[in-house]
């Protein structure tokens, strides 16, 4: 699948297992088409897709979401925003990650994502 955003830098995995990624959401991304004319907003599904894409890059394999929970949307993400993504594995959980997206240091979205590997 072709990403509708541009990775600013690579995906980095820290010693504690957390994953850091930074992406630019370009104004010409199809995610903004019709959502909303004159007041473009990155849809929630796109934010979740960005999170999943970062996890796939970090783990180097195809992943599918099994469950998404405790999701909160706090800030609107606009065209040309740089989104910083942090994924943190939850101890004693198989492939469950706490995720957080920030823009300009402000929380945009957070939640939990449980995944399964297709390989």
> In CATH, what number is assigned to the domain containing residue 94?
3.10.129.10
pLDDT greater than 80 at residue 11 = yes
Structure tokens at 50: 């960005």
pTM of this structure? 0.88
> What's the gap between Cα 2 and its chain centre?
15
Q: What is the model's pLDDT at position 1?
A: 42
pLDDT digits (tens, 9 = 90+) for 91-101: 776 789 999 99
Q: What is the model's pLDDT at position 94?
A: 73
In a domain, 112, yes or no: yes
In a domain, 36, yes or no: yes
In terms of residue numbers, what domain contains 91?
6-117
pLDDT digits (tens, 9 = 90+) for 29-78: 999 988 888 999 999 999 999 999 999 998 888 999 999 999 999 999 99
């Amino acid at each position: 699948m072709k990403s509708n955003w541009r990775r600013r830098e690579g995906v980095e995995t820290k010693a504690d297992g957390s994953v850091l990624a930074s992406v630019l959401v370009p104004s010409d991304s199809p995610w903004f088409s019709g959502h909303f004319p004159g007041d473009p907003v990155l849809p929630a599904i796109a934010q979740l897709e960005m999170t999943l894409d970062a996890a796939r890059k970090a783990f180097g394999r195809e992943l599918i979401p099994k469950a998404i929970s405790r999701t909160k949307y706090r800030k609107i993400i606009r065209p040309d925003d740089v989104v910083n993504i942090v994924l943190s594995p939850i101890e004693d959980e198989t492939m469950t990650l706490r995720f957080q997206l920030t823009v300009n240091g402000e929380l945009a979205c957070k939640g939990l994502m449980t995944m399964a590997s297709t390989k």
